[in-house]
Amino acid sequence: MTTIGSRIRSLKEELPSGIRLVAVSKFHPADDIRAAYDAGQRIFGENRVQELVEKQALLPPDTEWHFIGSLQRNKVKFIVPFIACIHSLDSERLMIEIEKQAAQIDRVIPCLIELHVAQEESKSGFLPDECRRFLREGVWRNCPHIRISGVMGMATFTSDETQIRKEFRLLKSLFEEFKNDFFAEDPSFKELSMGMSDDYRIAAEEGSTMLRIGSLIFGPRI
Ligand SMILES: *Cc1c(COP(=O)(O)O)cnc(C)c1O
């Protein structure tokens, strides 16, 4: 068993069933992804289109690819044919482009709305009020090739656990609010994508359904 394989196994043993693991393989070679695949991992997260397209060609067809980074509209067309979930829906313009490309090949793409809850300016995503307005305006209702399946967010990069927990609680409460106000009749709206290598235990305690873990599995990104 490889190191990567054993890290996958021990994470899976630790996590409650019902939480899915997205192995974030960005910057790591296809061989490392294969080692994780051979240990039973099927969901992988990438944040660059070109890198993702190259790796996707090298892994078995039942590998599930999730896009987790900031997505440029002119690159949407390259991932739409195979992507299983886009975690980073952060504007109406991006949504319209995904809808257009997905309609052309008649695929429905699960997407998570990215929310900005951290203290850092650099992080992307809708602010809570922007997201309320986006949902109220309802352009998404005319996008039959997009399935809004939940929300994604990142906590502030800090060692202050209280701060991190507070941000995950905010994400969870926004998820509940949107579920109630806009998706009460829609069972697809169920994912709360939060938690990375340094904060996944807190995220799991606060109700995450998808953890996005990179360096803990694959080692540091060089
Ligand atoms: C890189 C990245 C991760 C994984 O980060 P680690 O700290 O290596 O676990 C998770 N989510 C997003 C959006 C990322 O860009």
- Name 157's Cβ contacts closer than 8 Å, sequence gap at least 6: 118, 120
Radius of gyration of the chain (CA): 17
The answer, yes or no, to whether any atom of ligand 1 lies below 6 A from the CB of 212, is yes
For residue range 124-136, what is the model confidence (pLDDT) as tens digits?
999 999 999 999 9
Question: Closest by alpha carbon to 153, among 73, 86, 88?
Answer: 88
3-state secondary structure at position 92: helix
**Average pLDDT rounded to a whole number, residues 5-33:** 96
- Ligand 1 midpoint to CA 118 (Å): 14
For residue range 114-127, what is the model confidence (pLDDT) as tens digits?
999 999 877 799 99
The answer, yes or no, to whether any atom of ligand 1 lies below 6 A from the CB of 124, is no
Locate all alpha helices (DSSP H) within the chain, ordered by sequence: 3-14, 30-38, 49-56, 76-79, 92-104, 128-137, 161-182, 200-205, 215-218
Confidence (pLDDT) at 104: 98
Confidence (pLDDT) at 221: 82
**pTM for the predicted model, two decimal places:** 0.97
Residue carrying structure tokens 């992080």: 123
CATH code (residue 103):
3.20.20.10
- Look at residue 1 and tell me whether its pLDDT is greater than 70: no
**Average pLDDT rounded to a whole number, residues 174-196:** 98
Q: Domain span at residue 40?
A: 4-218
Total domain count for the chain? 1
**Average pLDDT rounded to a whole number, residues 141-152:** 98
